[in-house]
Structure 1
Amino acid sequence: MPNKAKKKKKKKLAKTAYEPYVRHRITDSDMLALTALPPGVDRAEWLASNTVAFFKHINLLSSALSEFCTTSTCPTACGPGNTIYFWTDEHGRKLKCSAPLYFDYALSYIQELLTDEDVFPTKAGAAFPTGFFLLVQKVFLLLFRTLAHIYWSHYNEALALGLHPHLNTMFAHLTLFCQHHALLESEDTEPLQPLITALRRQR
């Protein structure tokens, strides 16, 4: 399970790192139209379907960069703001682990949730569990951290592979979706706020 991230010292992602590339997207679609709850659609259904879609896309993006994220290059799971991400196991123990191990835990945890019919039911009319919204918040925190780690530790590799338009588009969509549906705390997004603002200016 995810745990509160520990910050050594506040440090935002340097604007100069992404500024030349922030306009690069794979689509000019109206992100707000993609995030808002459509009329007549159940909110839980909307959150569930988008959770599945975001997971699939971010998992693919993470896999494409996995060869650069190793125990040698990333001995600690971290993100912008000198933030260290701790994992909490089933016994409640906080684990400080390498980035590849942390994100393997994270994406495996999400996969298990998404395939659990009691949590993400696929049958029409099936009820969502009590506490579903809290679980969705946990999932989006982990997805956000996955992209945050890529921006912080593997942005150059993403640029070299030409993946930055996909990364920018996914991050802009995810952060807007989370803001619209209150899925993330401001303290989670604050270190990347300059990037979030820059991406939205390009809409």
Structure 2
Amino acid sequence: MSFFNSIGRSMTRAPRSGKRSTTPTSATFSPTESNYNSNPPSPVVSSPSKPLYLCSPFVEAALVKGSLKTIVLLPKYVDIMEWVAVNIFDFYTNLNEFYGCVAECCTQSTCPTMSAGPTLNFTWINQDRKSVNLAAPTYVDYVMTWVQNLLDDENVFPTKSGQDFAPSFPSTVKHVYRQLLRVFAHLYHAHYPQILHLRSEPHFNSLFAHFLAFGREYELLEMKDLKGSSSAPVGIGELWSRWRDMGILEG
């Protein structure tokens, strides 16, 4: 069943966690669009010829062995909109926790751009529809604040039994997915050494692989967002191919 051709009834979800603190200036920015900037960003860390997350044994580190296909399939009798909403909430919550663990290393000076590869950084489109460069911690804060506000909006993520999801929910959640993907991309590119230091690479890899498998299953993942372009590739693009060859991902 195609997610983008399915508008279903909502079901009751568990209560959400507390609200994330809002950035005072983030209201001036709306992530209706965001662009790639192929100009090489300022280096965040000196990187080897091959990123650590693509090297053994780190690329194989995982909590779940084998294909993730079964854990992303829609359970019987569960509404597809509800299933997508609950999983997006979980991905956001877990990613926010991981970012919190390395936030002290993601600063205006260490991460002056929202980098996701040696020659790629993401830019933000503000309310004047102008592309602006933001330091990574500012970009991430805008993304997480925006997503939290959507999760708290009953018109977008309804929690009351009998309340339907809006027809615009699929397109909204796809944009949420794209922005969360960019946060993953920055963490892998700029902060994987800190994740290794915390010995959290199996958890982080499993979360990201689950995120990719889910996005592929429900048409949220655009391969161009994952891989970028030949002149400005996204660093994590190779992970898809490696995990596919290992049987973790399909397609």
TM over 0.5: yes
| Counterpart residue type for residue 150 of structure 2 | L
| Secondary structure, aligned partner of 2:35 | coil
**Within the alignment, does 1:38 sit opposite 2:70 as a pair?**
no
What's the RMSD between the two structures over aligned residues? 1.9
237, 241, 250: which one pairs with 1:193? 237
Indicate conservation of the 8 Å contact 2:35/2:131, yes or no. no
The structural deviation recorded for 1:14 is: 5.9
Match for residue 138 of structure 2?
101
Number of paired residues?
Answer: 200
| Counterpart residue type for residue 147 of structure 2 | I
Q: 1:29 to 1:50 in 2, by over 3 A?
A: farther
Alpha-carbon distance between aligned partners in 2 of 1:43 and 1:80, rounded to the nearest angstrom: 34
User: Structure 1 residues 77-86 or 113-122, which shifts more?
Assistant: 77-86
Match for residue 153 of structure 1?
190
Match for residue 166 of structure 2?
129
Indicate conservation of the 8 Å contact 1:76/1:96, yes or no. yes
Determine which structure has more spread, i.e. the larger CA radius of gyration. 2
37, 41, 52: which one pairs with 1:17? 52
| Counterpart residue type for residue 131 of structure 2 | K
102, 109, 126: which one pairs with 1:65? 102
The structural deviation recorded for 1:109 is: 0.4
Alpha-carbon distance between aligned partners in 2 of 1:67 and 1:202, rounded to the nearest angstrom: 35
Alpha-carbon distance between aligned partners in 1 of 2:209 and 2:143, rounded to the nearest angstrom: 21
Q: Unaligned 5+ residue runs, structure 2?
A: 1-30, 41-47, 228-233
Indicate conservation of the 8 Å contact 2:35/2:125, yes or no. no
Indicate conservation of the 8 Å contact 1:7/1:81, yes or no. no
Deviations 1:84-132 (A, max 9, x none): 2112233433221100000000000000000100000001121111211
Indicate conservation of the 8 Å contact 2:66/2:247, yes or no. no
The structural deviation recorded for 1:30 is: 4.8
Alpha-carbon distance between aligned partners in 1 of 2:180 and 2:49, rounded to the nearest angstrom: 21
Alpha-carbon distance between aligned partners in 2 of 1:46 and 1:188, rounded to the nearest angstrom: 23
TM-score by length of 2: 0.74
Percent identity over paired residues = 32
71, 79, 88: which one pairs with 1:51? 88
Q: 1:109 to 1:14 in 2, by over 3 A?
A: farther
Alpha-carbon distance between aligned partners in 1 of 2:141 and 2:242, rounded to the nearest angstrom: 30
113, 120, 124: which one pairs with 2:157? 120
Q: Unaligned 5+ residue runs, structure 1?
A: none
Q: 1:14 to 1:32 in 2, by over 3 A?
A: farther
| Secondary structure, aligned partner of 2:70 | helix
| Secondary structure, aligned partner of 1:154 | helix
Match for residue 38 of structure 2?
7
Indicate conservation of the 8 Å contact 1:15/1:194, yes or no. no
Indicate conservation of the 8 Å contact 1:23/1:202, yes or no. no
154, 160, 164: which one pairs with 2:201? 164
| Counterpart residue type for residue 242 of structure 2 | A
